[in-house]
Amino acid sequence: MDPLPLSEYDFPFPDELVASNPAEPRDSSRLMVIDRASGSWRHLHFRDLPSCLKSGDCLVINETKVLSCRLLGRKSTGGKAELLLVREIEPGLWAALASGFKAGMQLFFPGELSAVVEGLTDEGEYLCRFDRADILGYLADHGHAPLPPYIVKRKKIPDLGDKERYQTVYARESGSIAAPTAGLHFTPRLLHELESTGVRCAKITLHVGRGTFRPITAEDARSHQMLAESYRVEESEAAKISRTIKEGGRVISVGTTSTRVLETLARRPEGFGPGQGQTELYICPGHEFGIVSGLITNFHLPKSTPLLLASAFLGREKLLAAYQEAFRQRYRLYSYGDAMVIL
């Protein structure tokens, strides 16, 4: 397969359109409805989603719950210390994203928590040894929402409301270090309305890790390697999806995380069905979709894996044209921004 120049997925964007706060209510965000075949679009609001779907369609949502895994404290030298905990290695020992630390440095956090920096992992993460084993319990009380850096820099002080708002209304199982942002637009009322019109809802879980948001750096974007992320699809939920396909309905994936799970299971020798494990599936242009026939997603950063997944689904020229239209229409961008649905 021919190389895929990363430069083809780099473009200027209006910085003032990057959303630092979410729309209120959730479903008041704007929705660009894109025809996959023609690339044409129309402009609605997310609350209008039921008018875009049909009885017999199936929405697939990711039930993962975001950990409050951002810690704000101080170094033993007196400077500020900020950690983003990304994975537990053993009780009390975590890999974290940070900068400016040295092995042996002590860190102190509110709630009488302390840690010692033990070194670096092969991935360049800091190894932090805490003075207690139950860090998850601590995070529930003292942790901050792991907002993307481009949102954090726009907030002068942490917003306690982000712990609720950077979370889908259907989040159930803790394990993610970032939100599946396409799901942030749903409300209980909207989900009920969709169900009442005959749209099924299948639930899967993929715990979002560094793999989803780690930037692509290789000049040939095809050579990018995803980091493994854990997923699970129960038999009852896989049956809803299989039934939808059998009856001629559309499987509409809510977000790139749900898409990667569905396409991972579709690629097995035995075909699509329930399963759990780790996925390293990287979807970029050239991927042949086996399950997904519709995609709900936000407007993503240039040169990112979610952008290339959306490009694989819609086509590069159509997607970038839609982005330019979104800029002209002043759509709000990225994690807290507006959405598109490609059908």
Helices and strands (H and E) in the chain: how many: 9, 17
Amino acid at 304: S
pLDDT in tens, the chain (343 residues): 889 999 999 999 899 999 999 999 999 999 999 999 999 999 999 999 999 999 999 999 999 999 999 999 999 989 999 999 999 999 999 999 999 999 999 999 999 999 999 999 998 999 999 999 999 999 999 999 999 988 888 876 667 689 999 999 999 999 999 999 999 999 999 999 999 999 999 999 999 999 898 899 999 999 999 999 999 999 999 999 999 999 999 999 999 999 999 999 999 999 999 999 999 999 999 999 999 999 999 999 999 999 999 999 999 999 999 999 999 999 999 999 999 999 9
Token pair 């042996």: residue: 104
Q: Which residues are paired to 339 by β-bridges?
A: 31, 298
Composition of the chain by helix, strand, coil, percent to 5? 30, 30, 45
Q: pLDDT tens across 178-230, in order? A: 999 999 999 999 999 999 999 999 999 999 999 898 899 999 999 999 999 99
CA–CA distance, 73 with 109 (Å, rounded to integer)? 4
Contact between 58 and 250 under an 8 Å Cβ cutoff? The reply is yes
Query: Which domains are present in the chain?
Result: 6-66+164-342 (3.40.1780.10), 70-143 (2.40.10.240)
Structure tokens, 113: 């928590």
DSSP string computed for 275-313: EEEEE-----TTPPPSS--EEEEEPPPTT-HHHHHHHHH
Peptide bond into 149 cis (omega under 30): no
- 80-90 and 70-75: which strand pairing? antiparallel
Helix (H) or strand (E) holding 295: strand 294-298
What whole-number percentage of the chain has pLDDT above 70? 99
Q: Which two tokens stand for residue 255?
A: 């977000």
- pTM to 2 decimal places: 0.95
Give which of 339, 341, 241 is closest to 28, Cα–Cα.
339
| CA 95 to mean position of chain CA atoms | 20
